Chain A
Amino acid sequence: MLELDGVRVTRGTFGLSADLSVPTGARVAIIGASGSGKSTLLSLVAGFLPPDQGRVRVDGRDITALPPGRRPVSMLFQDQNLFPHLTVAQNVGLGLRPDLRLSEAQRARIAQVLDEVGLEGLEARKPANLSGGQQSRVALARVLLRARPVLLLDEPFAALGPALKAEMLALLARIAEGTGATVLMVTHDPEDARSFAPQTILVDGGVAHPPAPTGPLLDNPPPGLRAYLG
């Protein structure tokens, strides 16, 4: 279970508070207007932003003081999920050992996850020589390999076309199911939320509301969300 317990953060005129919990293995969309604090919420969980008060816990363990890399969390960013100067195998291998001193068994494991995301044999390629969809698959392969309990998505597939995006979300759903990860996904697209996430966190008016069933929330949105959805 992921818990944000009385979390508050203020930066200048911007503030966000969150007091909510997400059950293990849940898939949750995060929806809200631009600048409402969706990415801030992810940063609080990922550890890029220290809360002014409150605790963040995963499965009962307090992770508030842990640096990002030590948290039981994987994150996919909007872009720059891969290092362009490293090969596919190295980019994935960073998920196992940041210093890339990989054993034979670990190399075999990398080949295996690349296989699972449909990239067999592309270990030696550089990201620039891959299509956008293939680059997303590399990032997903690393997520699969790390198998952290919490997975945060900051609209990583926004630049892909609709068909490719649906494909990636399906692959993502399969990975999350396999690893049992709790998934939080920021999205601008209500359809993504409906198809992927049974629950949705609404971020509005400086508050991240506890997860509510996605369908009813989108069918009958509160005023702030209604204005945003149009």
Chain B
Amino acid sequence: MRAGESADLFAPERPACPVPLKTVAPPRAVLPAAAAQTLSAELWLGVQVAAGAAQPGQEPSSALMRLATYAQRLTPRVALAPPDGLLLEVKGSLHLFGGVDGLRGEMDTACAHCGLRGTLALAPTPLAALIAARAGQPLVVLDSAQLIGQLAPLPLTALRWPPKLLDRLAYIGVRTIGQALRLPRAGFAQRFGAGQLKDLDRLTGHAGDPRERFEARVRFRRRRELSFELESRTALLAALGPLLAELERFLEARQCGVLELECRLWHRGHPPSRSTVRLAAPLADAARLAELLGERLGTLSLPAPVRACELRSGFPVPRVASSGTLWQPGEQGGSPEAGSPQLIERLRARLGSEAVHGLVCVQDHRPEAAWRAAEPGARSGEGSGGCRGAARPLWLLPAPRRLSERDGLPRYRGGLRLASEPERIETGWWDGAEVARDYYSALDTHGRRLWLFRERNRPHHWFLHGVFG
């Protein structure tokens, strides 16, 4: 019966008319559900940092991320409350850091270290600690029995409910949490929303408040001092081999890959040379990274022999591991996609990333605006190909080339014979790149079909714009 009693003690007050409250599934990777534990089993330290113009829903700032990383020294259970709050479960850490005062001192040091000014509050529920800190009240509530009494004078605005809702509550004279808690539950849920009732339950500890655990993002960085000064590319690659193997293990343990890898080479008496590999898809394979790095190093000219090398990765990105195929690409049943990222990455590593691109059509009648370069494999948007049925050349000149004229007819390395009716393209007045042209196809003396246009506006010059090929 004891279990039943304690359940009764902490169960929410049963409303006269039961309100159908939707139970919310806890989000992934949660801290242990608070509902399963008694209230006093946890003590949360809420930190509210003075952020300039943080909006709800905004990403936490990098300073807050640093603070969260720092706070992991105080407790393993750290949760972010974006955009400007941080929560620490400190029940177990209290005696390690000299009680409440010692812990607050540590946290103040941490805030100062990260260049932030924070308000701290301690309470048995995470939401209570957070809104006390948001309200600027450095509350210390260690006993759950005192929680509601201490929370009662705090303003409702600290809960960050929608302003309209707060206005309606203020209209009926409800401005503090204590006043809101005194309202009948059924009516509150109906008038102000079940979500808001759930917030109040979380605040008082009647409902569980699972928080996603903060995990610090780590990058790989290793430096290796060489016992000989090296100059040749192959020797450098061999020296980087152990570092790459370590990077592979680092990434595999996290089931991640990197999108960016920087290699720095130190010289005597010169600034370090840098070379960066950027990848199309997350990669963790040391052999392929070595191949790409080899291409980058091949383009690097070293001012002096290398005496130390260092690898720095970008942030690890989750990677989908794939299994090798039995067939070669292109063979019957072979997957066509298997080799394609490698090819693009290898070409880009050597030629630069803008040297490899795909094509997409754009809905525009101006020939120069009817296509654009895109990532390889990108698909054209819907409704492209507006010029279907009209004569279009396979080759387009990078820019129209002015043609000389004789007797009003254009010449290009000899006379030209116009071979089609004109096609008028007159558009683009809305974006400043207006064109007004009459396009013709013409045959030159070599039998080539060219695509010309004559400007509709004075001085009516002729231009070559494409070759039919």
Partners in one complex: no
Contact surface of A with B, Cβ cutoff 8 Å: none
